[in-house]
Structure formats: structure tokens, C-alpha cells
Structure 1
Amino acid sequence: MVDWDIRKLQILRTLRERGTVTATAEALRMTPSAVSQQLTNLAKQVGVPLLQAQGRRVRLTDAARLVLRHAEAVFEQLERADAELAAYRHGEAGEVRVGAFSTAVPALVVPAVRALRETAPGVVVRVREAEAGEAYELLAGGEVDLALSLAAQAPTVGDARFTRVPLLADPLDVALPAGHELAAAEGLRLADLAGEDWIFGGSGPWSDITRGACEAAGFSPRQGHSAAGWTAILAMVEAGMGVALVPRMVEVGRGGVVMREVAEPRPVRHVVAAVRRGGEEAPAIGRALGALRSVAGT
């Protein structure tokens, strides 16, 4: 197989366009002797004559035209490669793998993907739902490029493996059954619900967040039921089985559930994004982070 040399093919192509070795040399900023030498070497490589003398000019042989016919497809593909590489350099193309906890997917990731389709349609986002702690394991293992998690579950700021980017403080509202006596109460405080049955998971981040918020309000919540999924939690609230803290990012959509903002001190959970340290310099990842921050309003 011929060891093709793109530079030599470019010289042959320019000769076809310019007509003379001298004009070709001027166009390519080479000397005429260098042009002639490169074309002679190309002819040796392909094993057929490429030029015929025609007075003071040279003419391309049929073999040279055959070579160029195939070379044009190569040049076209290289132009496309240059264009795509330029898009990668400017963050307009590339693939970003995102690991995110369940409520962050519809509230943050999906709107960010929609925005990227408008501003950088060449950036492809692959989403993987993962628990808060698992997202960092995936990030550390190179299985995702960007992780969305809760600050309480994230590695410390001093962890040299990651760069953390704060996204938002998500307020926690109280979900009450529609017929609850405090559903319309003014200035509702968490402490007003100290005697209620609370619904939250037996362990994990949401258990810690619920217990922490209630304890900050001066009481320890009595766990009436244990559930981790919002569908189950809200169904039990709607049935009057207890109350629950629910992030504002969660879409409730239940007529039998009343969502109430509580008075100060208002509980919140902090949502952060993280990349492997230095990864934020990758243009496509930077684009994705920018879209997430825009959706989050930071």
C-alpha cells in the first residue's frame, strides 16, 4: 500500500490549479526546486508518472488526475475534521456524561440539555441517574464527567480530586394533607409540627436532612413511616398518614397535598456540581456547567 503524504498531495492539487511549478511555489511559499522534488518523490511513491513536460509548463497525467480524484475525498474529510475540532475547542461539540440524583434530573439537567440544544447543538449530554454518594464514585472512576449531588453528601472542598461548583440552595417545604388543621395557618413553623408523624427514609441523605432540619427547629421528628421515593411519600401524605419535608425541586402534582413554606429559620438543601479537577477546562464540560448554572440562577 502506498504511504500517502497529504502535503505532497496538496502540492499536486495546487499545481493543477496554478498551472506552473513557479506559480505553485509562490502560492505555497516554497521554492520551485522544493516543489519539483516533492512531486518527484510522490511519483516514486505511487509508482507512476504524474507530470509530463509541455513546453515551459507541465501537464498532469491521467494517473495524476486519478490520484487527485481520490485525494479530493480525503481533503473534504479533513476539512470536516478541522471544523469539528474547532467546535470541540470552542465547546460547541463533544459528549458530556452527567451523573445526577433523581430530583435534579427534571429540575436542572433536562432544562440545561434543552438550553444546550439551542446554544451548542453539537454538545451531547448522556444522563445517568445516581444517588448523591454514588455520583461521586462514578466521577472518581471516570464513568461520568460531571456529578450533581447534595453538598451534605459531597466530598469536602479540600478533596484534591474534584472541583466543586455551587449551584443552588433548594428550599424545603412541608407537605401536609389537604385537610390538615395547619394547612392554611399563617406563619407556619417546623416546630408547630413537632407532634406529627413524619415520613422519610430510614437512612441516607434525606433522613439526615429531615432529622437535621427538625432538630434545628428544636425537636426530634417522630418517624411514622419510612419511604425513600417521592411518589410513595406524597401518596402517604395525601392519605393523611403523616407530614414530610419536600424539596421545592420536586414536582408534587397531587390535589390532596398542600405545600407550605415554613417560617425562618427556613430549611434548605445545597445542590452542587463537581468535575474531576481540571475537567472544567474541557470546553464541552464548561458549556454544560454553564448551562446548569444558568438554570440554577447562579
Structure 2
Amino acid sequence: MTDWDLRKLRVLRALEEFGTVRATAEALRMTPSAVSQQLSSLSHQVGVALLEAHGRRVRLTDAAHVLLRHTDIVMAQLERAEAELDGFVRGEIGHVRVGAFATAIPSLVVPALHALRREYPGLTTKVHQADAAEVYDLLSAGEIDVGLSLAAQAPTAHDGRYDRRELLTDPLDVALPAHHRLACARTLRLGDLSGEPWIYGASGPWRDITVSACAQAGFVPEQAHVASDWRAILDMVAAGMGVALIPRLAATGDTPGVSLRVPRPEQPRRHVVTAVRSGAGEHPRIAVVLRALADTAGGLADSTVQYS
């Protein structure tokens, strides 16, 4: 198979366009002898004459016109390839896998990826739900490219395997039964709920967050029920079975039978972070996803509902 040289094909195309060797040389900023040498070499490669004498000039042979017809097709396809590859360079094409804990998916991940799908239809994504701490194992194993986790679950600051960035500060609201005696109180402190039955997980970050927040308020919460699914927790609160701390990301929409209150004066919060393998955030397709997540988080922060 012929080892095609695109530069020689472009010289042939220019000769057909400009008509003479001298004009071709001027257009391509070459010498006339260099143009003649390129065309002679191309003719030798393909094994057929591409030029023929025509008075004091030369003209393209029928074989040359056949070659140019195919050259135009090849050049057009290469232009398309270059345009498509530019999409990879700009992060508009590719595949990115996003791992996130459950409450981050509906409020952060889904809106961000939905916006990306509209803006960059050539960029595909895959979502992997995982516990906040598990995200780092998935990154290390190469199973995801971007992780959403909690700052409290991050490896030590000396671990150089990951680049982390705070994405969102998620307030923790108190969920009370709508008929609770404190549901309409002017102000509510966590300490006011020291004698109440509490609902939270048996282990993991949510137990730690609840116990820690109550400890800072000066009491140990009495665990009346064990649950880690937010829908189940809110349903139990609505049924009057206890109270709970609920991340605002999880308390989207109306929850009949539940009163959500902001504990004062210090509202506990959890810090949501993005994590990538060290240096990976510079890849255009990953940078595009990180920007979309940041934009979505910024919109949530601007529109966060403040309860009484």
C-alpha cells in the first residue's frame, strides 16, 4: 500500500487551483524547484504520470484528477476527524464516571449532568452510588473519575493521591413531628431536644454527625430507632416516632407531617467535597464535569430555603 504524504497531495491540489508551478510556489511559500520536486516524487510513488507538457506549461493528467478526487474525500474526512478530536481537547467529548453518596445524587449530580447533556451531547457519563468513604476506594481503583464525598470522610491531608475541593456546605435541619410541642416555637436549640427519642443510623458518618452535633449541644441523644434511609427517617418522624437531624440536600420538597426547623444559634453542617485522583482535574472532560457540579452547588446555595 502506498505511504501517502499529505504535503505532496496538498501541492498537487494547489497546482490544480493556481494553474502554474510558479503561482503554486508563491501560494505555498515554496520555491518552484521544490514544488516540482514534490510533484515528481508523488508521481514516482503512485507509479503513474501526474503532469504532462502543455506548451510552455504543464497540466494535470487524467490520473492526477482521479487522485485529486480521492484526495478531496480524504481531506474532508480528516477535517471531520480534527473537529471531533478538538471536542476531546475542549472536554466536549468523552466519558466520565461520577461516584457520589445517596443524597448528593438527586440534588447535585443529576442536575449537573442534565445540564452537561444539553451543552455537550458528545460527553457521556455514568453515575455510581457509593458511601461517602467508599468514594476514595473507587477513585484509587480507577472505577470512577470524579467523587462526591464528605470532608469528614476524607483521607488525611498528607495523602497525596487525591485532589479535593469543597463543593457545598450542607446545613442540618431538625425534623420534628408537625404536632410536636416545639414545632412552632419561636426559636429552637438542639439542647431543647435532649429528652426526645432520636432516629439515626447504627454506624457510619450519619451516626457520627448526629452524636457529635448533640454532644456539642451538651447531651447524648437517646436512639429510639435505627435507620439510615432519609425517606424512612422522615416517615418515622411524621408518624411521631422521634426526631432527627436531616441534611438539607435530603429534605427536598414538602414532607407531610414533618416540621423542619433550623437549630439556633449554631446550626450543624456537613461539608460536601469533590475528589479526583491527583492531577486528573486537569483533563478537559473531568474539568467540565467539576465546573458543572460547582455551578449546580452555587445555584443550590443561592436558593437554599431557610426555615423559621
Alignment match, 1:283: 284
Offset at residue 128 of structure 1 (A): 2.1
Instruction: Indicate conservation of the 8 Å contact 1:157/1:164, yes or no.
Output: no
Unmatched 5+ residue regions in structure 2? 302-308
In the alignment, residue 150 of structure 2 is paired with which amino acid? Answer: L
Unmatched 5+ residue regions in structure 1? none
TM-score (norm 1): 0.91
Alignment match, 1:159: 159
In the alignment, residue 288 of structure 1 is paired with which amino acid? Answer: V
Alignment match, 1:24: 24
Q: Distance in 2 between matches of 1:61 and 1:126?
A: 55
2:260 is aligned with 1:259 = yes
Please state whether the residue corresponding to 1:26 is helix, strand or coil: helix
Deviations 1:221-244 (A, max 9, x none): 222222221121112112222111
Offset at residue 117 of structure 1 (A): 4.5
TM-score (norm 2): 0.89
More deviation in 164-173 or 75-84? Answer: 75-84
Please state whether the residue corresponding to 1:240 is helix, strand or coil: coil
More deviation in 111-120 or 21-30? Answer: 111-120
Alignment match, 1:239: 239
2:159 is aligned with 1:139 = no
Instruction: Indicate conservation of the 8 Å contact 1:99/1:147, yes or no.
Output: yes
Q: Distance in 1 between matches of 2:140 and 2:287?
A: 18
Alignment match, 2:217: 217
Instruction: Indicate conservation of the 8 Å contact 1:140/1:276, yes or no.
Output: yes
Offset at residue 154 of structure 1 (A): 1.5
Deviations 1:17-64 (A, max 9, x none): 112222222222222222222222222222222222222332222222
Please state whether the residue corresponding to 1:132 is helix, strand or coil: coil
Please state whether the residue corresponding to 1:95 is helix, strand or coil: strand
Q: State, as a whole percentage, how many aligned pairs show the same letter.
A: 61
Alignment match, 1:148: 148
CA RMSD of aligned residues (A): 2.0
Alignment match, 1:292: 293
Alignment match, 2:304: none
Aligned length in residues = 298
More deviation in 12-21 or 54-63? Answer: 54-63
Offset at residue 188 of structure 1 (A): 0.9
Offset at residue 155 of structure 1 (A): 1.8
Q: Distance in 2 between matches of 1:55 and 1:95?
A: 59
Q: Distance in 1 between matches of 2:138 and 2:66?
A: 51
Alignment match, 1:182: 182
In the alignment, residue 52 of structure 1 is paired with which amino acid? Answer: E
Q: Structure 1's 55 and 126: CA in aligned 2 closer, same or farther, altered over 3 A? A: farther
Offset at residue 126 of structure 1 (A): 3.0
Q: Distance in 1 between matches of 2:120 and 2:142?
A: 24
Q: Distance in 2 between matches of 1:37 and 1:274?
A: 56
Deviations 1:191-223 (A, max 9, x none): 111222221221111111111111111111222
Q: Distance in 2 between matches of 1:133 and 1:63?
A: 67
Please state whether the residue corresponding to 1:186 is helix, strand or coil: coil
Q: Structure 1's 169 and 228: CA in aligned 2 closer, same or farther, altered over 3 A? A: same
In the alignment, residue 55 of structure 1 is paired with which amino acid? Answer: G
Offset at residue 290 of structure 1 (A): 2.1
2:65 is aligned with 1:62 = no
Alignment match, 1:203: 203
Alignment match, 2:306: none
Q: Distance in 1 between matches of 2:225 and 2:253?
A: 19
